[in-house]
Amino acid sequence: MQLNSEEIRKRAIAESEAAADSRALYEVKMKYLGRAGEVTALLKGMKQVPAEERPAFGKQVNDLRVELEAAFEAQEEKVRAKELEQKLASERVDVTMPGRKGRHGTLHPVTRVRNRLIDIFMGMGFEIYEGPEIESDYYNFTALNTPADHPARDMQDTFYLTDEFLLRTQTSAGQIRLMEKKQPPIKMLSPGRVFRSDDDATHSPMFHQMEGLVVDEHITLCDLQGMLDEFARTMFSETSKTRLRPSYFPFTEPSVEVDVSCAACGGKGCPLCKGTGWIEVLGAGMVNRRVLENCGIDPDRYTGFAFGMGIERIAMLKYGINNIKLLTENDVRFLEQFKD
């Protein structure tokens, strides 16, 4: 068998040098050295070479293979370098150009206050419980000691969906849901949306409340006030104080309205606190024993306190916002004022 290795060598090298990119070069390489390549075929055809010529033939083919491998590799390096150069040129960036500014959103004031409240009370060991927004009349009213003909139902203008279901008017409904499931000790914080047919500068048909509930042995009103003092100091100012005024809620006995000393004037009296030095921030009280009974908790062994506050109201006081609508219109010019 005649072998013109010189011819093959020249042809292969010329083809490899003509290859414009690494892909084309790869194809040349396969054409000669691949499994079905020309040089590989020669090696495979060794059997047909007469035995005495075989060593010389084999050496020749092998030399050719080694030579081509080296040549292709050298060519590959050149092609790769050229390609890299092109890539870098096409991706060149001008690092002196001014960057594009990303517009960052800010957290909504209601979210900020909600998060802050969660921080404060989680730090005191409260766990979060979120009840449903569509609630049954039983959880929203009846179990909270407010049966169908109770006058206190008029305190909240309710959106009824059916005779049985409504949009919850208060997160207090969550108290029942949790106490039905869990025996004391209980320390629950329940944030959520509530709904009332109410609409003016300080009332919106949808707003947010934060409910708190603590039930255990020997819980007293003093525990409530101590905890609220801590809340007022962390939420408003180091020097904030609280004051309890008697009030009425069907699910607490006694019930109180909690005022915080006005942070704007330090309690001296100003337009924000209408000259009184105090601002009403939440309702609270000792859990009515009927409510505990409704949930299967022994009122002779356990006592508890509960509180509920409007998150929008706290946000309005904290940031000096005079109309609750600002919190739902979501005008960016208003929202972007709340930055860290």
Whether the Cβ atoms of residue 321 and residue 315 lie closer than 8 Å to each other: yes
Report which of 185, 190, 191 is spatially closest to residue 223, judged by C-alpha positions: 185
- Residue keyed to tokens 């060519």: 75
Residue 308 binds ligand DAH, judged by CB under 6 A: yes
User: What gap in Å lies between CA 122 and CA 129, rounded to an integer?
Assistant: 12
Which of the stretches 64-72, 109-117, 305-313, 314-322 binds ligand DAH when contact is defined by CB under 6 A?
A: 305-313
Of 37 and 285, nearer to ligand DAH (C-beta) is 285
Question: Buried (b) or exposed (e) across 89-118, using 16+ Cβ within 10 A?
Answer: eeeeeeeeeeeeeeeeeeeebbebbbebbe
Which of the stretches 60-68, 100-108, 302-310, 315-323 binds ligand DAH when contact is defined by CB under 6 A?
A: 302-310
CB 266 → ligand DAH: shortest distance, Å? 27
Residue 283 binds ligand DAH, judged by CB under 6 A: yes
Of 231 and 307, nearer to ligand DAH (C-beta) is 307
CB 308 → ligand DAH: shortest distance, Å? 3
**In the set 109, 192, 285, 304, which binds ligand DAH (CB under 6 A)?**
285
Burial class from Cβ neighbours inside 10 Å (0-12, 13-18, 19+) for residue 136 reads middle
Any bridge partners for residue 207, and if so which? 194
Residue 252 binds ligand DAH, judged by CB under 6 A: yes
Whether the Cβ atoms of residue 178 and residue 188 lie closer than 8 Å to each other: yes
User: What gap in Å lies between CA 101 and CA 153, rounded to an integer?
Assistant: 53
Residue 170 binds ligand DAH, judged by CB under 6 A: yes
Cα 52 to the chain's mean position, in Å?
Answer: 80
User: What gap in Å lies between CA 205 and CA 60, rounded to an integer?
Assistant: 94
CB 307 → ligand DAH: shortest distance, Å? 5
Q: With contacts defined by CB under 6 A, how many residues of the chain interact with ligand DAH?
A: 11
DSSP code at position 219? -
CB 318 → ligand DAH: shortest distance, Å? 19
Q: Any residues with CB less than 8 A from the CB of 13 and at least 6 apart, and which?
A: 68, 71
**In the set 131, 273, 307, 315, which binds ligand DAH (CB under 6 A)?**
307
Contact letters (x/-) for ligand DAH, 175-214, by CB under 6 A?
A: ------------------------------------x---
Q: What part of residues 123-142 is at the interface with ligand DAH (CB under 6 A)? A: none
Residue 306 binds ligand DAH, judged by CB under 6 A: yes
Whether the Cβ atoms of residue 317 and residue 279 lie closer than 8 Å to each other: yes
Which of the stretches 12-20, 48-56, 76-84, 283-291 binds ligand DAH when contact is defined by CB under 6 A?
A: 283-291
Residue 250 binds ligand DAH, judged by CB under 6 A: no
CB 337 → ligand DAH: shortest distance, Å? 29
User: What gap in Å lies between CA 326 and CA 336, rounded to an integer?
Assistant: 12
Query: Hey, how many other C-beta atoms are within 10 angstroms of the C-beta on 212?
Result: 26
**In the set 249, 267, 303, 314, which binds ligand DAH (CB under 6 A)?**
249
Of 172 and 261, nearer to ligand DAH (C-beta) is 172
Of 191 and 285, nearer to ligand DAH (C-beta) is 285
Task: Report CA Rg, the chain.
Answer: 40
Whether the Cβ atoms of residue 31 and residue 68 lie closer than 8 Å to each other: no
CB 338 → ligand DAH: shortest distance, Å? 25
